[in-house]
């Protein structure tokens, strides 16, 4: 099965630097099949027959052992990525520009009702969200940098990482090209 591992907070602001070639090498040495990376922010595609939980621990432990710092990892398989992209409540296929300020927060577990209610306090006409399972779609019409909503994702009581729509669609393209 093909998985996408999304690393939280690598190569951001000079912190937790990992060269993607080194990451591919150490993950392949751990038995992950044909690891590929996309951009420097920690997006890895690979094949494995292991479970999501065991793979998450393997990738986190490998990074800490080889690079010397802990990194949280969120995993999705290709079917879950397809589902996420195909069921976006904000993006219309006929209007590509609508994706410019669209992001998805990928969570390890769905947020609690209490955490979701707290997050709702940060919405505005320019910042909205919708939760579908372990994914939170963020429409940030004034951008990520000016958002009051996006920084609150990390207060939901579960591990999360955020990716923009362009990155997620590129990962899907890479995954399907690899499968062919």
Domain boundaries, the chain: 2-77, 80-179
Contact in structure between 44 and 36 (CB atoms under 8 Å): yes
Residues in a beta bridge with 124: 127
pLDDT in single tens digits along all 180 residues of the chain: 999 999 998 765 667 888 999 999 999 999 999 999 999 888 999 999 999 999 999 999 999 999 999 999 999 999 999 999 999 998 655 455 567 899 999 999 999 999 999 999 999 999 999 999 999 999 999 999 999 999 999 999 999 999 999 999 999 999 999 766
Prediction pTM value: 0.92
Structural class in CATH, domain 80-179: alpha beta
Nearest CA to 106 out of 142, 75, 152, 69 is that of 75
Contact in structure between 136 and 81 (CB atoms under 8 Å): no
> Residue 143: what are its φ and ψ, rounded to 5°?
90, 160
Q: For residue 6, what pLDDT is reported?
A: 96
Name the fold adopted by 2-77. Alpha-Beta Plaits (3.30.70)
Cα separation, 33 vs 27, whole angstroms: 8
């Amino acid at each position: 099965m093909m998985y996408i591992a999304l690393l939280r907070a690598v190569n951001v602001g000079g912190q937790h630097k990992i060269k993607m070639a080194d990451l591919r090498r150490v993950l392949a040495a751990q038995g992950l099949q044909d690891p590929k990376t996309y951009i420097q922010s920690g997006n890895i595609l690979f094949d494995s027959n292991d479970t999501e939980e065991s793979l998450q621990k393997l990738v986190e432990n490998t990074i800490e052992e080889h690079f010397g710092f802990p990194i949280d990892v969120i995993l999705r398989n290709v079917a879950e990525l397809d589902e996420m992209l195909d069921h976006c409540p904000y993006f219309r296929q006929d209007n590509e520009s609508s994706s410019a300020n669209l992001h998805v927060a990928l969570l390890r577990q769905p947020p609690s009702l209490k955490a979701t209610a707290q997050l709702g306090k940060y919405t505005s006409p320019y910042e909205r969200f919708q939760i579908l399972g372990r994914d939170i779609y963020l429409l940030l019409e004034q951008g990520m940098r000016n958002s009051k909503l996006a920084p609150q994702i990390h207060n939901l009581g579960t591990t999360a990482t955020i990716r923009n729509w362009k990155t997620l669609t590129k990962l899907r393209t890479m995954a399907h090209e690899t499968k062919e």
